[in-house]
Amino acid sequence: MVLSSGGARGLAHVGVIEELESRGYEIAEIAGCSAGALVGGMYACGKLEEFKNWICNLDRIDVFSLMDFTFSSRGFIKGEKVYGELKKVVEDCQIEELAVPFSCNAVNVITGEEVIFREGSLYNAIRASGSIPSVFVPALISKNSLIDGGVLNPVPISLLRNHEDENILLVVDVNGLAHEYIAPPKNDQEGNRFITFPSWLMDYRKKMSQFFPDEKEAEKEPSYSSLNLVKRSFDLLQDRFCELLLQQFPVDIQVKVSRKQAGTLEFHRSSELIEIGRIKTKMALDDWENGNQ
């Protein structure tokens, strides 16, 4: 199983895993990148439910409070606070001791080489893999500055050690194109309505827009700030790169979530994104199972 990068959209990976398990599938190995490394790591250490309960109870203000802003030219978020809080819920562990084989990637910002994590601290690996350029300060590990693995390998199928055996190869790409977009569900699997925000919170959202730009709205604007232009350029390159990577491997099942579903830092939409991942997985599995009967 391969879980792509994608910021908050990566929470759809949780829904993917839950749907697979509900149908009786067993996950033999996980390779993740950035947000995919976070969700994949939580599953591999047996703490996905605890992680889900934690992140689904964060509203917009909670998410904002976990952003330890800095004036560093390398990124405007340190990234230490959010992982510090998560460690209170899920303790750190060693990757080589996980019940499910797990790997993730990052990029050495100086040499440009891909760095693959298959052992050592799980949180060090996740922190490095999710260091989005210009957003999070690069992770410093063994005197090396590491950034988001999505820069070189956003869909890290190459990290899998057993992808050529008889196991089903399922890839989740949450950087899909516009036509993959689906209307956000209003209720979760149990029928509970997703939280709506009062007017005062919507006003607060506008004030925070410099930190949480709405990517769907940004695409409609005729002009971009320099930061958004760099980000938009990176997104376009990554979209194309994802498509090329998927063409290189014999993927059995693809679960595609559109980039338009949520902005990179919209973690307050966790429950909605998890449900989108579940819906998309149902569609992909139904098509695959019907075609293999």
Active site residues: 34, 148
Sign of CA dihedral 60, 205, 128, 32: positive
The C-alpha torsion from 218 through 222 and 225 to 229, rounded to 10°, is 70
Q: Which two tokens stand for residue 34?
A: 């950035």
